[in-house]
Amino acid sequence: MLKLGVNIDHVATLRQARYRGQPGGEPDPVTAALLCEAAGAHGITAHLREDRRHIIDNDVHRLRRAIRTRLNLEMANVPEMVEIALDVHPEIVCLVPERRDEISTEGGLDAAGAILALTETCLRLNNAGIEVSLFIGPEPRQVEAAAQIGAQFIELHTGNFAEHFEQTAERNREIERLVAAATLANQFGLRVNAGHGLNVRNVPLLHVVPHMVELNIGHTLVSRAIQTGLAAAVREMLDVMKGYIG
């Protein structure tokens, strides 16, 4: 069964628009996470950025205490975040690229260009019992680097696929790249997640990508929740994921 990890960052984005710098506020990302779990989500994803633009430290600690599924902490490979991860102890850490001027994470991590640094972080987290995923583009050299680094997962960046969804030829090329990357990852013993720009229209086309374990999806669920409610948005996404064989 293909699992759904719900990224709650943009619940915090909405809160921070009004309550940045204050100890509380609404909507509460932890409450949202619990609603997602109750609706059937298999895990919760939160990205603690260096600039704390949405998720903040207190959110991560509260999530760790509150949720009953699996916490996936997205973060940059910097010493501050590694220490926070070791303290919070999520089930999995997903290492992502991070730029201050981006709206959301754009593009995949250059794992092939940072093998030594990523290997050190991966080893520290693994020794603490935390699995590691690398958020990478569907490129063979990046998949090979992830295996060399010792990661347990890769998360394939689906942004180009989502961006070219309306252009059939370009979309199909991106699907082919995702299929090839997932196949190669499986050969290396890596487990495969995917995410970025996914919604109920484009997810069914990803059913051809083999070996996927989980989709991490956030923005569309928060957007749909404005119209349908969060629980309904999660159930709607789970419905379109049914039938994945892998």
Token pair listed for 81: 């975040």
Token pair listed for 74: 């997205």
Task: Encode the chain (246 residues) as per-residue pLDDT tens digits.
Answer: 999 999 999 999 999 999 998 888 999 999 999 999 999 999 999 999 999 999 999 999 999 999 999 999 999 999 999 999 999 999 999 999 986 555 555 679 999 999 999 999 999 999 999 999 999 999 999 999 999 999 999 999 999 999 999 999 999 999 999 999 999 999 999 999 999 999 999 999 999 999 999 999 999 999 999 989 999 999 999 999 998 998
Domain ranges of the chain: 3-241
Sorted by sequence, the CB contacts under 8 Å of residue 7 that are 6+ apart come out as 45, 46, 47, 74, 195, 216, 217, 218, 219, 221
Token pair listed for 111: 């794992």
pTM: 0.93
Enumerate the active-site residues.
47, 74, 196
The values of phi and psi at residue 5, to 5°, are -105, 125
Domain at 3-241: CATH code: 3.20.20.70
